[in-house]
Amino acid sequence: MTGSSRARGPRTLFDKIWEAHLVSETPGRASLVAIDRIFLHERTGSVALKGLKQAGRPIADTARVFCTMDHIVDTFPGRSDETRMPGGKAFITETREAALEAGIRLFDVRDPDQGIVHVISPELGIVLPGATLVCPDSHTCTQGALGALAWGIGSTEAEHALATGTLRVNRPSTLLVRFEGTLAPGVTAKDLSLALVSRHGSAGGNGCAIEYGGSAVRDMDIEARLTLCNMATEFSAMTGIVAPDEKTFAYLEGRRYAPRGELWERAVASWRRLASDEGARFDREIDVDAGGLAPMITWGTSPQHAIPVTGAVPALEASGLPRESYDRALAYMGLEPGTPLGELPIDAAFIGSCTNSRLSDLRRAAALLRGRKVAPGVRAICVPGSMHVKREAESEGLDEVFKAAGFEWREPGCSMCFFAGGESFGPRERVVSSTNRNFESRQGPETRTHIASPETVAASAVAGHIADARRLAS
């Protein structure tokens, strides 16, 4: 089906944004799609800027290109350009030089707005409803929460976007994931993401543009929607998107790069049309009873290996996995079938990352930590997603709650979601983490990662073993 034939009938939100950005269509070729915003970071953006310079190609429109330092930058208090990773400093200094030379907006190590790209872009109103945004980072789908078409690309495609203001893209298929119902207390957007991937597999949304809808999504605040969309890439999707609504507009109004005055009114009038039409057809649909979900946590080495936090390591047959994958995951994680996850002692707890490092995440974790202590022997770390989040949290005294409980309170960055900054957890250490990937060695060589909500991480840190936050709260 071509774009023009779709245009005659009811259209999905995706269709509307796609068609508004079509520069040209050539039979037998990918569509040429206009890109409104390009974000770079020091790990994969640096090499794109360098490649562009070596090819002698200028940036088409520098005003719409942004760059931050988040991946490799150190997160210890009093940080500088130095990193714990050998050679890491060069990524920072080379990115700075390239960004300054190119004349793009850079949120540098000491900038009061520095932070993780997918935290600061919404905070600063850089991502907008109906816009296209790309970044050489797989979690760019996070920003679909604002009603933008935002997706992750490689560095070569980033060079293309920088040089031409466009990308060559094959139109993806569409998938509607409808979360209906009211979330039970203690169940969060993170749990919805994990439940979806656990039911349909980590390739279940392969290549799709997902629209997240249903009453549970409409009820979510913007930060929860960012968490939900964040893990579309863990479902192998191109991106996830939520239709913008009054909450979206209220969130964006007054942010630095959002339109103002008469332009704001015009923009909002246009954004109000950004919803799937009644009767619009999706290539696939998935329904999830969100009211029936429990807090989730992973037991294995893929986000799809997720079960309710009250559950036990599944037997082979119940896991739905081929024997080799199952055995390998169990061996890596040091687990036996049938072991209740709640019996597993932990070595570390981590709250941070583009998934769960925003103010609301920190508030919910702090509410559980107030007046409590991290269990002896557990290393606990909290890394706010941005300088803005950090300042807000400190003004509310959340930093004191974390520190009094025994958490390290860090400077913003991706930090130990992975070990690009050279810092890692130890071999065979068991970590409960509010991040998005529990791959082998993701958080450190042979480190065993269990991903879950910030609530579950906080409760587990206090208990010293994997714990159900609902029991701590009650």
Question: Tokens at residue 442, please?
Answer: 């993701």
Taking CB under 8 A as the rule, which mask of x and - marks residues 397-436 in contact with another protein?
Answer: ---------------------xxx-x--------------
Residue ranges of alpha helices (H) inside 3-72 are: 3-8, 13-20, 45-54
Q: How far is the CB of 296 from another protein (least distance, A)?
A: 18
**SS3 state of residue 241:** strand
Which one of 116, 149, 228, 267 is in contact with another protein (CB under 8 A)? 267
Q: Which is nearer to another protein, 420 or 432 (CB)?
A: 420
Q: How far is the CB of 363 from another protein (least distance, A)?
A: 26
Please, which of residues 144-203 interact with another protein by CB under 8 A?
Answer: 152-157, 159-160, 163-166, 168, 170, 172, 202-203
Q: Given the structure tokens 């300042």, which residue do they identify?
A: 391
Q: How far is the CB of 212 from another protein (least distance, A)?
A: 18
The answer to whether 215 contacts another protein (rule: CB under 8 A) is: no
The answer to whether 294 contacts another protein (rule: CB under 8 A) is: no
Say how far residue 391 (Cα) sits from the centre of its chain. 21
Closest by CA position to 351, among listed 188, 136, 134: 188
Q: How far is the CB of 205 from another protein (least distance, A)?
A: 10
Q: Which is nearer to another protein, 377 or 445 (CB)?
A: 445
What is the size of the binding site for another protein (CB under 8 A)? 87
Do residues 44 and 137 touch, judged by C-beta distance below 8 A? yes
Taking CB under 8 A as the rule, which mask of x and - marks residues 34-53 in contact with another protein?
Answer: x-x------xx-xx--xx--
Q: Given the structure tokens 């890491």, which residue do they identify?
A: 88
> Using the 8-state DSSP alphabet, how is residue 309 labeled?
T
Q: Which is nearer to another protein, 47 or 344 (CB)?
A: 47
Burial class (CB in 10 A: 0-12, 13-18, 19+), 1: exposed
The answer to whether 322 contacts another protein (rule: CB under 8 A) is: yes
Please, which of residues 98-127 interact with another protein by CB under 8 A?
Answer: 103-105, 112
Taking CB under 8 A as the rule, which mask of x and - marks residues 333-362 in contact with another protein?
Answer: ------------------------------
Closest by CA position to 123, among listed 224, 256, 249: 256
Which one of 3, 180, 184, 257 is in contact with another protein (CB under 8 A)? 257
Rounded Cα distance between 38 and 237, Å, is 20
Question: Tokens at residue 10, please?
Answer: 């009811």
Phi, psi of 332 (to 5 degrees): -60, -40
Which one of 28, 78, 279, 371 is in contact with another protein (CB under 8 A)? 28
Instruction: Return the C-alpha torsion angle 218, 412, 252, 15, nearest 10.
Output: -60
Q: How far is the CB of 153 from another protein (least distance, A)?
A: 6
The answer to whether 276 contacts another protein (rule: CB under 8 A) is: no
Which one of 178, 225, 442, 448 is in contact with another protein (CB under 8 A)? 442
**SS3 state of residue 152:** strand
Which one of 246, 278, 324, 336 is in contact with another protein (CB under 8 A)? 324
Closest by CA position to 35, among listed 136, 157, 132, 121: 132
Rounded Cα distance between 405 and 165, Å, is 48
Phi, psi of 334 (to 5 degrees): 65, 45
Which one of 4, 29, 316, 394 is in contact with another protein (CB under 8 A)? 29
Question: Tokens at residue 309, please?
Answer: 């936090």
Q: Which is nearer to another protein, 255 or 372 (CB)?
A: 255
Q: Which is nearer to another protein, 17 or 183 (CB)?
A: 17
Q: How far is the CB of 70 from another protein (least distance, A)?
A: 13
Do residues 75 and 382 touch, judged by C-beta distance below 8 A? no
Do residues 33 and 15 touch, judged by C-beta distance below 8 A? no
Q: Which is nearer to another protein, 1 or 63 (CB)?
A: 63
Burial class (CB in 10 A: 0-12, 13-18, 19+), 370: middle
Q: Which is nearer to another protein, 225 or 442 (CB)?
A: 442
The answer to whether 75 contacts another protein (rule: CB under 8 A) is: no
The answer to whether 137 contacts another protein (rule: CB under 8 A) is: yes
Which one of 64, 225, 379, 388 is in contact with another protein (CB under 8 A)? 64
Do residues 341 and 312 touch, judged by C-beta distance below 8 A? yes
